[in-house]
Amino acid sequence: MSPGDLAVIVGLNVLGAAAPGPDVVLVTRTATRSRRHGWATALGIQTGVLMWCTLTVFGAAALLNAFPHVLTYIQIVGGAILIAMGASNVRSGVEERHYPPTSLAEAEERLGSVRASYLKGLATNLANPKIVVALSAMIAPLLPPSPSLGTAAVVIVALWLSAFALFAVFVQVVSTDRVRRKFLRAGPYIDIGAGAFFVVVGITLIVRGALTL
């Protein structure tokens, strides 16, 4: 694989990672309340990204194409997880409308543990297996048919690092005290909006999965 091909893959990967989706919405919702929770969420997401990138480079897309029902079932389960998370966010947002956080410390405290934020980020990313299909479409035309272990490792690391760098910058910008103070009172409405988004995405995944059965 030439450096130019690798650069194209990385560029497409960054554009895909930056597109509005459950990962970006979750990080935004968390980072506007707490930098450390935002980082934990991003690390959870990137753990999932690393797994999907590895599976894609080593041929998971071909396996899923050979057994499409596997992807369908994963998609339906993932959709259900997103709906549950979305409903929880909406419920939390509605409850907080009358008791919004009055300080940055209180907003951070309401997020719970850092570990919970990490696991939520991981679950959100793993809930959408379509990333394998998207990555495969980017990689397949440029990756050798039987890449060496070294080539595969370079591609995986390049994909993961580029996505990680994007989210790292995003978390740092969104979690500044100035931004957090600006969104402090809007926290409940951010929760409601993010929750509604998760529910819509989850329903979409389930419907699309069910139609392929």
Q: pLDDT tens digit string along 180-206?
A: 988 887 888 888 998 898 899 889 888
Q: Rounded to an integer, what distance in angstroms lies between the CA atom of residue 125 and that of residue 179?
A: 25
Question: What is the percent of the chain where pLDDT is above 70?
Answer: 88
pLDDT score of 61: 58
Structure tokens at 129: 């297996």
Structure tokens at 110: 């309401």
CB-CB contact of 201 with 82 (8 Å): yes
> Is residue 7 pLDDT above 80, yes or no?
yes
pLDDT 10s digits, 54-102: 887 877 656 666 666 777 787 788 888 889 988 988 988 888 887 877 8
Average pLDDT, the chain: 84
pTM of the shown model: 0.83
Domain boundaries, the chain: 22-211
Q: Rounded to an integer, what distance in angstroms lies between the CA atom of residue 79 and that of residue 206?
A: 5
- pLDDT tier at 113, thresholds 50, 70, 90: very high
